[in-house]
Amino acid sequence: MRLCVPVPCFFGGKDFCQSIKTIGSLGFDAAETYNWKGLDLEKVKNTCDETGVELLSMCTTEFRMTSPANRRLWLDGLKESCIAANKVGAKKLITQVGPDTGAERAVQHQSIVDALEQAKPILEEYGVTIMLEPLNTYVNHPGYYLWSSKEGFDIVREVNHPLVKIIYDIYHQQIMEGNIIPSIRDNLDCIAHLHSAGHPGRNELQFGENDYKVIFSAIDKAGYKGACGLEYRPLLDPIESLKIAKEIYG
């Protein structure tokens, strides 16, 4: 498993390409970001090529999937984000599904499935994987619809397409469901990427209640070949924090 550095978590407000160079100098070969608008995509691609740091994922520009009324906005945002991903060399896009609209959950669930069904031709055209993100509603995202990884896995299996997957965030699921290792191990077919942070606090992995050395070892043994983003707010100096993460978990 590769460790991946989310640029905004450690280098927010700093030059993006210089941040990629710093990430490479620390011995990491994978990075990710969220809002891609405002980036010089060609320059970022060249910097990644020069440093050997792969930009694994970015976010879509629209997150509203729970209501059919917003379907066209989401699909248009997906297409423009796929075009951007191709320009920069990213193979994956993260999308949130949006708020709980108050409609019956079965109706909102079906709206997400229908959006993904309509997204298939776009994903196939650009060769990009879309990753749904379950989030916690207790601490960080009250009112969000998709809090259950189980429902996320159900949606992926209903859509049944190799370019539709889940990004499994260990921090969020520790809050909502626990049962981390079995949930990942038993659903590797649905998972394209991982995120991690210590809980409580969403800080360094070693400061939380989870033993990430045990978790990562179990995931490796299960055959996971992807990456895990260090998606936390560092309490330590960001460079020092990444060095320590590399020493402990790399």
Active site residues: 133, 231
Cβ atoms < 10 Å from Cβ of 81 = 25
Using CA atoms, how far residue 4 sits from 69, 112, 171, in Å, is 35, 28, 15
Query: 129 - beta bridge partners?
Result: 92
d(CA 91, CA 108): 27
Which two three-digit tokens encode residue 6?
């989310």
